[in-house]
Structure 1
């Protein structure tokens, strides 16, 4: 028995089970991803791909990956060679042997198919980083010169190579970010040891009959008015006649509301005659009489439609299926355009309404790991912030992300990345490698092929708002021509922007209308509000469209820090303010220390006395930084030079990091998140640090009428020194200056608190937003003329040190949780002084954070006698087991409070 089990293990490990396995695909139009891989270094397995792609090879000593896609490091994490939590702890990532990835590696799988007369098979790639040789059953399918580029997808005809049992071997070559079209990291974080090499997207097998279809394109044309005028929908797909004879096919089109949406399907047919061995673009038109319009979540619902195109032929004498192939797509009905205003700033319009982009830059996992649940949580978090857009700078992810964005109403601004092969132009002085690896003829071909694949994948998705073909620098004329040719080839209907900056442009695209003037490191909150351009350049201040900018904040809370920092690392965090830290940006970049940030913290709040003291001061810094940035941009939406868009740098991190995020790697929201959330409300009242005015912001399309604004200024001893109630009106999609607080704040001697409450006068005083600021006697003084590309120096800091002496506040806490994944925490300030900056998080019976979770508010400041109820909702699947609420504040003692079951 023991011998039989051992032989069975060897038999299975060798891939011989494919002989008895069900075929991977078995009907025309079916396609399926290679479900798993055996993986080995060529240093062990060799590079004889003809031999490695023979069936029956003993791979029992190889790594066995139960996943359809993963980079080399991702695979080795998947199979247990490395443990992610260990890799990310302290500086352990340095210990990974990079030399093991300087040779090719082999991905291998054995699979069953059912070849036969009239059957055609294709091997479809969608992205291998960055070059690969592909062999099937001992024969070469593609060389590394053909399968090159991390975003390049090809359909390789393999009918003549297919057998009942098949062995596929893919040799991936080491990726060089400066010489390959890959997914690089620039200075975002340390680079993975494998440089992202590997099969990072699915490789699929497709079976067809005599005619094969390329992916379905959906072209929409909306009428006026949008909701009542009929919409024209055109289905397009290239059909390949694979036979050496003329074929007449029937193309059947179906357009129907997606599952869960109202409406009736529309079906129709059309005949086409395909010459021998030809490629023909099939075009089928229909009309949707009562279209359902797709909106970003900020403005409406997300009705979706499905489209399917099926090709049938006359059955042959072998009684093959009349279906030869089919192609499907999900799409939405909406329009997206972009326009340059008088200041050469881009404004997007969605469904003919001017739309202010409020978004952030996205980062995938450092090992490009596939995680749909993670993406769904991230999109929910983004919407909870009040944001509407994610920028994908050269990190275009997987099709499933676009599906989720379509369903949830999140917009995606895709594009290529900066600072490596993608921008190796003679006019780019910033490239970190010399000599500049100038593009060859093959490079132009690969780049265009990558553009064609990505544009084709994105084309039907209503969530895609455009593509930025350059980041810091625009592509040269030849590359731009290739990109635009690729867009035209897939019937692209969204804006194409030349770059994310105003450094230059191709006449083929015109000016991008996006600015990339920083900052990327800490600046005080008044930076964003200082929009007086007559005084000189105001760089990232709230004018125009900022494509990537932020104050460099995003400090994780202690529970998260302990998961990736050693005790010595934690000491460095507050005792060594200028030290290079491994969990900042990549070494040698401008962002490997928290020096600029810490200078502000030390000067404004005083030297920290402990790690806990440092962290609460850091959360205060983070909160005011993101709030001021978002509020300034939303307030200046209707300014003389409007703030038309903001992409905060960044949304999330590729690994546990100490900056550049709105939530940490473990999905714990902290100060940067809740500051941004306050600023991102649909309706808000915002304090202008420069003019000391109050602004009324309305980002909705369906809210208008009378509003009341309650203003109170309170000193740190609990005395109200100013109060006012102001009544005004609001209109949809507008912002305006409504009130000056110059006199009210003129006599501040110590720091004071400012509370702004916006209420709907027609709904019984329903509170729409509540905002508390801490205001110093003097605002930070910026030295604009000494600005660098990543920050503007401060010559004099605001003084908040008096707030370190706030009298302790006594806050009662009562919390309940229910079976519907909701917890309610009631806070009441029982003292005579403000309870400053109270944070809440939920923990389980073991004291570990309960995550992911969405709060309606957090990090709040309560007036004496004030009561607030804060609600938290579980995001995603899994059990809901919050046991305690952990409470702490600047002058509120930390403690755990048990939650009652409702």
Structure 2
């Protein structure tokens, strides 16, 4: 039996505090206490489950619940301790993993803590006399806005985002910044004990620093300090055992050591593990090998004093910045185990605005979707929270690299002494907690704070928190880890300039497209050494929309009040219209509009990924080293940039990204030259004063493997206006270079019909081109279709879609080209099982036979939507 006992409080209750003037002792005996539905918890969650407030995410209820965060709230519980445990232990510590946010804590009527930092865990050492067999724990939570406003009065009002990024006073509060309102999330100032609270009773406790490192020769090492809670006295005899084991099913012991401890157990072991362990690799580059590490403390009689168990991995991770061949600037490239890795992935926001509503399996499902989508990096964004251990453990297991922001976003943060001290404590605690995870490959100081200086024309160009980003945080990271640090995303260029959009160095955020200054067809021109943010929004699954509309039909139109309530992006109606009206025929049909937004997002993100991945051209030519889409997930049901909606329903864009991040891909881009310059996309066919004069294709492929890939390139064209006309170019043998992109054709003339031409001005304006990479065994490695744009000029023929079912397998063929096939359940009732499609949002070409696995489909009917049949058919 371990000597270290962990006790959790029980019997949690909550109530609104009637008045600050009444003594807390009187408040405790007043009526009105309600049992908590769960723990950890949060006040909106409890009130909602008790039906005291409506669901904040439905309708316009967000506005109806604002009163909640303007009140003081009490939570209480009991901690039960046996008399024998009190007698036999000499170290008592009450741990708070997180309190949201302004909280005063009382134990048995005595104040033991005043907390004002949501991100800072607290460890309160107690004397034995502070504890009884039954102990009352009381937490008083205070209104965050009221306190933030007082601090703003004291220190001054600053600039902090646009009107849809919350009240600027948020900068003075170390709390999830997006809960003050963001352009994808509601204003919901959460309050409560939202992470674990544990009483630790022990005689000696392990808090190890485990360093699983790999040197430049790829030789793995393991060293650790035990980090004992108190020093071992000279007259004491305590032993520790460390065991490293492979995981199931093998479970083979790799190395162990047992010896006597002196002092606090610094540098207890230092092992060379050459040829004993395998390295951890990112998703798509190898296996993310992990190992079990067990540490046990024993007293002289062999009684176990404490146990520490964790999973660890070995990898060498570096951010590489070196000169390039033929282009200015330097790389911004991640290297894992001395191998350059193209970073393809997503930005992560909190997956619920009310954090305790997140079930552990939600993290698992979302991150597994990312990994199944061929992603290898998650950027944990600086306006959210440092996620719980389960998040990072899942990333370790799946091989998902994590770019970890510190929690600063889109603001001019202060730098007075109390604020810096709080940030220091927060950073040290979280760096120490996260450093054991192999997935962490970068710590980053802030999100877009440097960028705001120029964007808002702040004069003089002063950012007080610069000392935090360039001195405090890097010193902490350097002292406590071997993980690389980057001051901000995007970072300002070296020197005095505040320029943050230099595409030749560092990372960049590419928002010109959504801002409306560039079409998405220009993503290939909007390059950067690593694009850490870019995106295009879309409507979520139609069932998600109907959930927040609560079945109402009066608001079921494109720009209704309720739809606006659930689209927080600034000027979204205008910005959507710019892209939608250029590409598609106008529609007033609600479901057609929702479908079109999804196709728009899918087309834009797919083009961005394949265009930037093309710039990963091999050693010395890593002109683009990665792209992280904004964003993977949602924090509540909303029209947003996410590629997976709040209910974990992937949008077509998720599958577009998945295809573009496959190990082997083939890509095609069409350029239309015109009789005069204009500001419309280069890919658009023009008629009228502007006319199309010439059209050509670029064709290339990408290969993420370590070996060259030999294949045959097949190019086929079909005319939508003359379906009997098709042309197949001579097959060409090609070799895709390892871990690089390879150009096959540039400026290739497009096949044009020679008879029955539908439009003599632009004869290829109805021609669809398919490119395929066919392996030596005849199997198709990759394929891609390119359609003439804009789609509003096209008369889509009936593709004669045929869907044959073989269990959960959908086998699909067409007789004419099909654009944007989105499959969904034709009928669904809330609570029914979802269908998990292996692929979706597809283009199909005659003579293809495409198989998609639909897990959980059973015999339920499907709806198929595609261009020209946007309202769908039952298949």
Report the CA distance shift for 1:46/1:644 in structure 2 as closer, same or farther (over 3 A): farther
**1:254–1:266 Cα contact (<8 Å) kept:** yes
Supply the distance in 2 between the matched residues of 1:118 and 1:619 (Cα, whole angstroms): 60
Per-residue deviation, 1:80 = 4.6
Supply the distance in 2 between the matched residues of 1:754 and 1:133 (Cα, whole angstroms): 66
Find 2:104's aligned residue among 130, 133, 139: 133
Matched with 2:677 is none
TM-score (normalizing by structure 1): 0.80
| TM-superposition CA deviations, 1:534-566 (whole Å, max 9, x none) | xxxxxxx2331112112x223223233222234
Please list, as runs of the form range in 1=range in 2, the aligned pairs for 1:82-93 lying within 5 A after superposition. 82=53, 84=55, 87-93=56-62
**1:40–1:62 Cα contact (<8 Å) kept:** yes
Structure 2 residue 507 is matched with structure 1 residue 514: yes
Per-residue deviation, 1:151 = 1.4
| TM-superposition CA deviations, 1:346-367 (whole Å, max 9, x none) | 2110111011111111122011
Supply the distance in 2 between the matched residues of 1:158 and 1:873 (Cα, whole angstroms): 53
Find 1:170's aligned residue among 135, 139, 157: 139
Structure 2 residue 174 is matched with structure 1 residue 181: yes
Matched with 2:842 is 860
Matched with 1:840 is 823
Supply the distance in 2 between the matched residues of 1:246 and 1:346 (Cα, whole angstroms): 54
Supply the distance in 2 between the matched residues of 1:376 and 1:332 (Cα, whole angstroms): 19
Supply the distance in 2 between the matched residues of 1:249 and 1:220 (Cα, whole angstroms): 25
Matched with 2:543 is 559
Please list, as runs of the form range in 1=range in 2, the aligned pairs for 1:453-602 lying within 5 A after superposition. 453-473=429-449, 475-478=465-468, 480-490=470-480, 492-503=481-492, 513-519=506-512, 521=514, 524-530=519-525, 541-550=526-535, 552-565=536-549, 566-573=552-559, 581-585=564-568, 591-602=570-581
Supply the distance in 1 between the matched residues of 2:733 and 2:650 (Cα, whole angstroms): 34
SS at match of 1:386: coil
SS at match of 2:509: coil
**2:184–2:634 Cα contact (<8 Å) kept:** no
| TM-superposition CA deviations, 1:766-796 (whole Å, max 9, x none) | 21222222123xxxxxxxxxxxxxxxxxxxx
| TM-superposition CA deviations, 1:511-551 (whole Å, max 9, x none) | 99222342462653421112xxxxxxxxxx2331112112x
Supply the distance in 1 between the matched residues of 2:253 and 2:16 (Cα, whole angstroms): 54
| TM-superposition CA deviations, 1:713-762 (whole Å, max 9, x none) | 2222324454322220123211121113541168545343221222222x
Per-residue deviation, 1:93 = 1.7
Find 1:220's aligned residue among 201, 212, 219: 212
Per-residue deviation, 1:179 = 1.5
Matched with 2:80 is 112
Matched with 1:631 is 610
Tell me, which stretches of 5 or more residues in structure 2 are unaligned? Answer: 149-169, 324-328, 451-464, 672-695, 753-761
Matched with 1:354 is 340
Report the CA distance shift for 1:191/1:742 in structure 2 as closer, same or farther (over 3 A): closer
Find 1:814's aligned residue among 804, 808, 816: 804
Please list, as runs of the form range in 1=range in 2, the aligned pairs for 1:193-204 lying within 5 A after superposition. 194-204=188-198
Per-residue deviation, 1:187 = 5.9
Supply the distance in 1 between the matched residues of 2:271 and 2:20 (Cα, whole angstroms): 55
Structure 2 residue 393 is matched with structure 1 residue 407: no
Matched with 1:257 is 246
Per-residue deviation, 1:51 = 6.9
Per-residue deviation, 1:450 = 0.9
Matched with 2:633 is 652
Please list, as runs of the form range in 1=range in 2, the aligned pairs for 1:32-47 lying within 5 A after superposition. 32-34=7-9, 37-43=12-18
Supply the distance in 2 between the matched residues of 1:168 and 1:721 (Cα, whole angstroms): 77
Per-residue deviation, 1:462 = 1.1
SS at match of 2:397: helix
Per-residue deviation, 1:633 = 1.7
Supply the distance in 2 between the matched residues of 1:722 and 1:254 (Cα, whole angstroms): 65
Per-residue deviation, 1:853 = 1.5
Supply the distance in 2 between the matched residues of 1:39 and 1:506 (Cα, whole angstroms): 53
Per-residue deviation, 1:641 = 5.9
Supply the distance in 2 between the matched residues of 1:35 and 1:417 (Cα, whole angstroms): 31
Per-residue deviation, 1:828 = 2.4
Find 1:154's aligned residue among 113, 122, 137: 122
Supply the distance in 2 between the matched residues of 1:572 and 1:119 (Cα, whole angstroms): 65
Supply the distance in 2 between the matched residues of 1:190 and 1:674 (Cα, whole angstroms): 21
Supply the distance in 2 between the matched residues of 1:358 and 1:812 (Cα, whole angstroms): 34
Structure 2 residue 289 is matched with structure 1 residue 300: no
Matched with 1:896 is 874
**1:839–1:859 Cα contact (<8 Å) kept:** yes
* Cα RMSD for the two superposed structures: 3.1
Supply the distance in 2 between the matched residues of 1:189 and 1:553 (Cα, whole angstroms): 11
TM-score (normalizing by structure 2): 0.82
Per-residue deviation, 1:246 = 6.1
Per-residue deviation, 1:298 = 0.9
Report the CA distance shift for 1:526/1:835 in structure 2 as closer, same or farther (over 3 A): closer
Supply the distance in 1 between the matched residues of 2:831 and 2:32 (Cα, whole angstroms): 39
Per-residue deviation, 1:696 = 0.7
Per-residue deviation, 1:149 = 1.4
Please list, as runs of the form range in 1=range in 2, the aligned pairs for 1:233-248 lying within 5 A after superposition. 233-241=222-230, 247-248=236-237
Supply the distance in 2 between the matched residues of 1:611 and 1:237 (Cα, whole angstroms): 61
| TM-superposition CA deviations, 1:626-661 (whole Å, max 9, x none) | 100111121111275611121111111111111211
Report the CA distance shift for 1:613/1:48 in structure 2 as closer, same or farther (over 3 A): same
SS at match of 2:87: coil
Please list, as runs of the form range in 1=range in 2, the aligned pairs for 1:720-735 lying within 5 A after superposition. 720-724=725-729, 725-735=731-741
